[in-house]
Amino acid sequence: MALSAANKEIVEKAIKAIHERVFYAQYPEHPKAYGEDAPGIGLAAFNNQLGKPFKGLLQQNPVAWEGEEVSPYTMKPLGITYPVFEVDTLVVRAGRAFDAWRKVSVDDRAEILVEALEKVKYRFFEIAHATQHSTGQSFIMSFQASGPHASDRALESLAAGYEELNRFPSKVEWEKPMGKTSVKLSKEFKAIPKGVGLVIGCSTFPIWNSVPGIFASLITGNSVIVKPHPKSVYPIAIVVEEIQKVLQAKGLDINICQLASDSSNNLITKKLAENPVVKIIDYTGGSAFGDYVEHIPGKTTFTEKAGVNSVILDSVADLKAVVQNLSFAASLYSGQMCTAPQNFFIPAGGVKQGDTVIPYEEVKKAFVDAVAGIANHPQMGPGTLGAIQSELTLKRVASVKDLDANVLLAPGKVANAEFPDARTSSPVILEVDAKDTGVFENELFGPIILLIKTKDTNQSVSLAKEMVAKHGAITCAAYTTNEETADYIVHEMESVFAPVSLNLTGNIWVNQHAGFSDFHVTGGNPAGNASFTNPEYVSKRFVWVGHRRSN
């Protein structure tokens, strides 16, 4: 086995893109790129899987078959069951597989992993339906996020790991001149993987948030146990299946990558995370459990937790374009994105547009009208908002009436002609004052938007910065036509390690992070301790060891 010319080219192009940071996509996001027959094949595969055990995985001798996924669109169970294994079985198998996988060359690992991604692309449409009916994302968002965008992120991690593992020579003849003689040593440098990795998935982005950690650990020689959220297993199960099939075809232990499915009544995440054989943990989810993961002794952790994302409005070139952009960003997938904006800081004196100032009340009304317009539009509403993944999110929306805030836009059902029983909610918009930090300082996951009246832009920036320092943030959007103000906002947010998106309008939103270009999470504030994909994201998964031999 070796890294084939075709797959080597894929890796090299990915590495080049990582360095250049320009637009690059190995996997096009447009569905038509995958052939006329692909949509029908994917839908048929999805329908054929419903109500049946998921038999694609190659893991042997499960103790049970369980599944509890319910479509947020039909509100009916998918009826799919997955093999369940004892924690000790998963860990022992992963440990044995690690001993074999660590000995596989970097080129051979890359060959296997690229080939797996190339197999996954033929299942993008099945993955899209699986994602839609487990997360509540719209179909096109499900296709893009769990298909090409996720595979690009996986390739990015793979390529970054490949480059780091080739940073130093494997062998060198070292000679130190010492007058009439010299000292000669043969030196060998090895990247030693840390061991078994655990990837803990989330319910809203089961592939996009999981594959960076999976592929980063695998390329660096670690075996991986993939622990999906029990409400969203099907999408990532497909990816694990394709990895296992390639491993088997290459004559390797399929337990190098295992799926560890469980149920809400018998969660195994803590047992896996605390097992001493598990050395690496990737986690996406709420802050409380993320904090727990970060403090388990003896683990290398990579976390993405909750954050409070802000929008700072100072001055604009065109308020209508800004409001259109922000209302869509806040409505997309009903705010169930870690990058979604939540807190909108608006100066009481209004927002400057050209030589005029648009009063605060007009800015507020423009935003409320724009959000309501999306939610009430018969096509745009369901296509943008999707469905609510969890009943807990719906309860959170209902509970905002108990907050000390002015309700500007009440939540309601979003009509969906295709799925009349879908679990939906239009966004709720609350208005508070700058002093009401108790209302807006926590992440209110879901379609919940807060308009916060501030004294001026300086107070807006100060509050946004404070929120990041205390609670973390993954994104920050800012709008100003003044270069000095822009520099000030960027400087202040940099001090708490938060990225700023300035003056976005049109078809690019603060929610979006592009593979090979944008870092996702900085790792510098409480929203998470890692960033994919920077060099540390892969280099912390192995250790360089140097051996010397006297000649």
Its CATH architecture, for the domain 7-306+532-550, is 3-Layer(aba) Sandwich (3.40)
Ramachandran sector of residue 350 (left: φ over 0; alpha: ψ -120 to 50; beta: rest): left
- Give the Cα separation of 152 and 157 in Å (integer): 9
Query: For 193-215, what is each residue's pLDDT tens digit?
Result: 999 999 999 999 999 999 999 99
Alpha carbon of 54 to those of 73, 210, 235: distances in Å? 21, 20, 11
Angle at alpha carbon of residue 192, lines to 187 and 196, rounded to 5° = 170
- In this prediction the pTM is 0.96
Please state whether 136 falls in left (phi above 0), alpha (psi between -120 and 50) or beta. left
The arrangement of secondary structure in 310-502, i.e. its CATH architecture, is 3-Layer(aba) Sandwich (3.40)
Annotate 522-544 with DSSP letters as a single string. -SSBTTBS--BTSHHHHHTTEEE
- Residue 1: the pLDDT is 72
H helices present in 180-303, as ranges: 211-219, 234-249, 269-274, 287-294
The closest alpha carbon to 146, from 339, 138, 66, belongs to: 138
Residues 6+ apart with CB under 8 A from 409: 368, 371, 372, 426, 427, 428, 429
Residue of 155, 191, 192, 189 whose CA lies nearest to 172: 189
Q: What is the pLDDT of residue 548?
A: 97
Pairing between β-strand 257-259 and β-strand 223-227 as defined by DSSP bridges? parallel
| Residue that has been written with the tokens 């807060």 in this structure | 450
363-398 pLDDT, tens digit per residue, is: 999 999 999 999 999 999 999 999 999 999 999 999
| pLDDT attached to residue 2 | 86
Sign of CA dihedral 105, 107, 111, 116: positive
- For CATH 3.40.309.10, the residue range(s) in the chain are 310-502
Regions in the chain scoring below 70 on pLDDT: none
Q: Give tens-digit pLDDT for 290-320.
A: 999 999 999 999 999 999 999 999 999 999 9
| CATH 3.40.605.10 domain locations along the chain | 7-306+532-550
**Do 207 and 215 contact (CB within 8 A), yes or no?**
no
